[in-house]
Amino acid sequence: MNIADQPKVIPLWPDGAPGSEDWTQQEQETVLPPPDSFKVVHNVTEPTLTAFLPNPSVASGIAIIVCPGGAFHMLSIDHEGMEVAHWLSARGVAAFVLKYRLVPTAMRDEDFVKQIQSLPEPNKLKEVTRQIEPLNDKRSQLATRISTSRNQQTRPEAASLVVDGWAAHSWGQVLMFQGQTCSTFRVIYH
């Protein structure tokens, strides 16, 4: 891949993300031990979008934001983010990987792994994630409002929401109170 083909990283809040101005944790990458053995990023405080644009000869005009999961403690940045974006881009879809803010975690890899291994069951994570919940609620509500807007100039023609695991129930609730939607709006549970 030459330099022109490198994905472009776009900072979403160059002057600091609102609500996390006083966060001091440092972003880190860690490779989880077996059986997982994949790279994750944690302690994210500066949200970014990484743009994977298709070759103009195959570009379809479709764009997707890819949000890797990780229970708000880490992002499975490669296999749920970058690899998905490369796959989509090769098929003509502009893909943008969202690196979003997370709860603070241990700095040392060994301590971080212990912390992740001791996370409560998904239905008990609410207390752990309460400090970032207001930030995520605002983000999800904005995405839903844009996709279901009555304003045809700003509303996408089609939108799909792919939700994995325990978050699917919350998204279903967010969508139930929305009114008019874009021509195609789906929630895909994985």
Q: What is the pLDDT of residue 142?
A: 59
Q: Are residues 88 and 145 in the same domain?
A: no
Q: Has residue 180 got a pLDDT over 50?
A: no
- Which of 99, 123, 147 represents a domain boundary (last residue)? 123
Domain range spanning residue 118? Answer: 1-123
Distance (Å, rounded) from C-alpha 7 to C-alpha 27? 20
Q: How many domains does the chain have?
A: 2
Q: Are residues 79 and 136 in the same domain?
A: no
Higher pLDDT, 178 or 59: 59
- Please name which of 86, 95, 84 lies closest in space to residue 60, comparing C-alpha atoms: 95
User: Contact at 8 Å (CB) between 97 and 52?
Assistant: yes
Q: Are residues 56 and 92 in the same domain?
A: yes
Distance (Å, rounded) from C-alpha 3 to C-alpha 23? 33
How would residue 71 be classed by pLDDT, with cut points 50, 70 and 90?
Answer: confident
Distance (Å, rounded) from C-alpha 99 to C-alpha 88? 17
Instruction: Report the mean per-residue pLDDT for the chain.
Output: 74
Q: Are residues 40 and 112 in the same domain?
A: yes
Q: Has residue 168 got a pLDDT over 50?
A: no
Q: Are residues 142 and 95 in the same domain?
A: no
- Specify the pTM: 0.71
- In this prediction, residues 102-123 reach a mean pLDDT of 83
- In this prediction, residues 4-28 reach a mean pLDDT of 86
| Token digits of residue 148 | 């279901």
User: Contact at 8 Å (CB) between 90 and 122?
Assistant: no
Q: Are residues 119 and 137 in the same domain?
A: no
Sign of torsion, CA 162 163 168 174? negative
Place of tokens 């998204």: 171
- Which of 82, 97, 123 represents a domain boundary (last residue)? 123
Q: Are residues 114 and 137 in the same domain?
A: no
Q: Has residue 131 got a pLDDT over 60?
A: no
